[in-house]
Structure 1
């Protein structure tokens, strides 16, 4: 009988050890820790159209509308809406929506938010067609437009048009470091922005999150981000390099998400500065680049060569553009034709290892056609400031269509009204291009809009203020203990549905 007792004890002990291996306790408990590659420049949702900031700030805020995965628009803070005319949208707000400080959302907050957006470089471009917003009663507003706007509801679903608290900011609070909204999570600690802690908002109108909170960490080095994911220091790692995707897939404790986005990577050429004030020289850059080699060697197949600055997953994409092929002789001919004698320039790159590697291949390609390109690596905030101010010749970057509509690509990036921090860092100005893009903003027929976008993309393709490179996947590593992650191709993921087991 004793022997049987010992045998049972041994079996139970082995079972406990086995369970310990498969159910390793996370140091993060019921909090989910997320790492991304850059520190937010600001948590003010209206300030900058930059992904590291909006990825974090959208957890604190809500917009009037929401864009669903199928591209349809549904109410978020809005309870209902109707168009009284082509230029007047009436919105009724949900009742008893609470801000994190316990106050209730009213029409005054909505009116204040839109007035505030007009003065902010990021949001102003999104509401350019709005003349004014009027309060009807405590839960109703009218949005009066200067002219009809086809992309209006899509723009009002973008996190850069989040609704903020009038009383909170008027009390002197700085939304850049002390955000406070109606979102699923509320701020606990900002620090210096390297580690941003937030807790679940129990009074969230859509239902309190099931996790205690989330924490965002800035870990610029991709290998360090991977290591933190592997040891359980972080639960979710955004923006993983393709070369590390295999490591994530091979780890039994991790899952890999590798999905297409609405983004395009490109080189912006400052058309106001030599040598890129010369069209032939700009087009020559297109022929000099071996895009496929970048896709193959750096992205390992988790990207495709871009045909346009508009992503194929975005409404209005035109797939009939004649692709610029890798043609060294053609590039040399155009350089000769351009008459440019000072064949050198500096390329700004932010401190992303993948972008730096791509820049090195671009540098080698251009050397083959007699162009000396210097690579300058900048910290994220400096990179945004210098490019917004026009203090550059060229830079390597990308743009996410946060609304999945071509308007949010072509109007901010290339319309002359958007030059500077609003998005048109190429400082490109072409009246024919502006005419097509702005016409697409006011017509309601989808096919007519597509035709205007087609013409605009042809013009931009031929002028080459932007050198479209590739459409890459978003690679995300997730600890298997985390459930309920909802992937968003705009990469600005909402995290209110997270759970841990």
Structure 2
């Protein structure tokens, strides 16, 4: 009996040890977190408020739109289930069922109707869909959009992050607080605003297309390109947008990193306030075009990862015209035009946001203009102040960029330069030209692709003659990515959707 007792005790002891070892092997899966960084913090996370990339990149992760543009440039349903044109001015849209908002509410047609009506109240989003006359509810899963006239770009506009679908109850309850407490149907759920410097999102378990592979997405604002690169190299961040061209070689040589450098749908340009001297004078505006060495900017600032622009419409955008020749670098011609203009005080101040690349461009512009006798001062502004001051027309000129978020010329020409878009809606040149307006409107209304191209060509020809903007460059976007991050999909609009991200530890 004594031997049996000892044997049993030994067996229990072994079982206990075995149990402890088994428990040691059971571990909680490591949380998958990806940290990304862009150069400016968003002014707001209200998706309808501003057509600015720092904000729209973030809201792209939180919200969805009725449609989206696939990798081949085609319109496909997103929150919409299907759509049908009953006539050129009647669009019926069936809404997906069982789509959940982040608070657990199921999306209804009332949310969609509320969202569209709200878009029509906000200047930036109104520009996208102002062709809509009214929205009608057909049944609990179907709406009808009644249009003022036919519109070729409407479906593309309804795929832009500016036209995100909101929760009616939540938006009304929060009112303006939606700007720092957004709530949508997207793959990632908002957690913390972090004063815009560090925005925290988590995977939405009930996302209608399936839960994201990563658990947490953190979006940081790091203004200085060198600091952003350093954070990427040390592993503090996983994805860095807007890598300086001069730093791209460093990323390429780092075995832990990958560089993506691809063309965008954006154009870098100078906006001239046509209501203020000296830019209320056309000859003076033309002089600035001839004074600038764009090829020199492409070579020195972008290390060849850019090309001189001829039109505000990017070559990768529908409606770009090769017949718009742009301006050669001709300082002597610039001097002649300044003399012809009769402008007594040719000096002015250029606003620039706090971007190292833009500041370098501004400094080259400053040097080029000094060569023709123009003293240009540079005033650098924080992103939020830059957006606000230029919307209010406080500038004489500013350097900026515009991305065609729909890859269609309409979203470039109409917001930026149509006379109905003055100020915050986009036309910060405060440009007014009835002939230009007419061509852009006809381009909007036609459903024939060749007719649209012809109208947009004529509109771009008018801009070349009038020059309310000085177009500078078409640039690549440079992105540095830690190789442990998989599934990144590049979007030439630069509003990258990060739903497919995953983390693989090697």
Question: Counterparts of 1:445 and 1:211 in 2: how far apart (Å)?
Answer: 43
**Which of 210, 215, 225 in structure 1 is aligned with 2:213?**
210
**Which of 275, 278, 285 in structure 2 is aligned with 1:275?**
278
Is 1:94 the counterpart of 2:77? The answer is: no
The equivalent of 1:310 in structure 2 is: 313
**Which of 392, 410, 420 in structure 2 is aligned with 1:407?**
410
Question: Counterparts of 1:129 and 1:99 in 2: how far apart (Å)?
Answer: 28
The equivalent of 1:20 in structure 2 is: none
Is 1:469 the counterpart of 2:475? The answer is: no
**Which of 280, 284, 290 in structure 1 is aligned with 2:287?**
284
The equivalent of 1:6 in structure 2 is: none
* SS of residue in 1 equivalent to 2:194: coil
**Which of 395, 415, 426 in structure 2 is aligned with 1:423?**
426
Question: Counterparts of 1:472 and 1:69 in 2: how far apart (Å)?
Answer: 20
Question: Counterparts of 2:171 and 2:42 in 1: how far apart (Å)?
Answer: 20
Q: How is 1:6-405 mapped onto 2 (pairs within 5 angstroms)?
A: 30-172=32-174, 174-405=177-408
* SS of residue in 2 equivalent to 1:402: coil
Alpha-carbon distance, 1:70 to partner: 1.6
**Which of 437, 445, 451 in structure 1 is aligned with 2:440?**
437
Question: Counterparts of 1:440 and 1:285 in 2: how far apart (Å)?
Answer: 29
TM-score (structure 2 length as normaliser)? 0.93
Question: Counterparts of 1:316 and 1:161 in 2: how far apart (Å)?
Answer: 22
Structure 2 spans left out of the alignment, 5+ residues: 1-29
* SS of residue in 2 equivalent to 1:441: helix
For the aligned residue pairs, the C-alpha RMSD in angstroms reads: 0.8
Is 1:451 the counterpart of 2:445? The answer is: no
Total equivalences in the alignment = 474
* SS of residue in 1 equivalent to 2:174: coil
1:53-72 deviation line (CA, Å, top 9, x unaligned): 00001101000000112211
The equivalent of 1:13 in structure 2 is: none
Question: Counterparts of 2:476 and 2:71 in 1: how far apart (Å)?
Answer: 17
* SS of residue in 2 equivalent to 1:168: helix
1:40-92 deviation line (CA, Å, top 9, x unaligned): 00000000000000000110100000011221100000010000111110000
Question: Counterparts of 1:68 and 1:391 in 2: how far apart (Å)?
Answer: 39
Structure 1 spans left out of the alignment, 5+ residues: 1-27
Question: Counterparts of 1:443 and 1:170 in 2: how far apart (Å)?
Answer: 37
* SS of residue in 2 equivalent to 1:57: helix
Alpha-carbon distance, 1:135 to partner: 1.2
Alpha-carbon distance, 1:133 to partner: 1.1
Alpha-carbon distance, 1:29 to partner: 5.2
Assess if the C-alpha contact under 8 Å between 2:326 and 2:464 holds in 1: no
Structure 1 runs (4+) deviating above 6 angstroms are: none
Alpha-carbon distance, 1:282 to partner: 0.1
Alpha-carbon distance, 1:115 to partner: 1.0
Question: Counterparts of 2:123 and 2:268 in 1: how far apart (Å)?
Answer: 22
Alpha-carbon distance, 1:289 to partner: 0.2
Moved more, 164-173 or 355-364: 164-173
Question: Counterparts of 2:153 and 2:302 in 1: how far apart (Å)?
Answer: 32
| Greater fraction of residues in helix | 2
* SS of residue in 1 equivalent to 2:400: strand
1:439-472 deviation line (CA, Å, top 9, x unaligned): 1111110000000000000000110000000000
The equivalent of 2:10 in structure 1 is: none
Structure showing greater radius of gyration is: 2
Question: Counterparts of 1:207 and 1:258 in 2: how far apart (Å)?
Answer: 30
* SS of residue in 2 equivalent to 1:172: helix
Question: Counterparts of 1:197 and 1:322 in 2: how far apart (Å)?
Answer: 45
1:178-207 deviation line (CA, Å, top 9, x unaligned): 000000000111121110001000110011
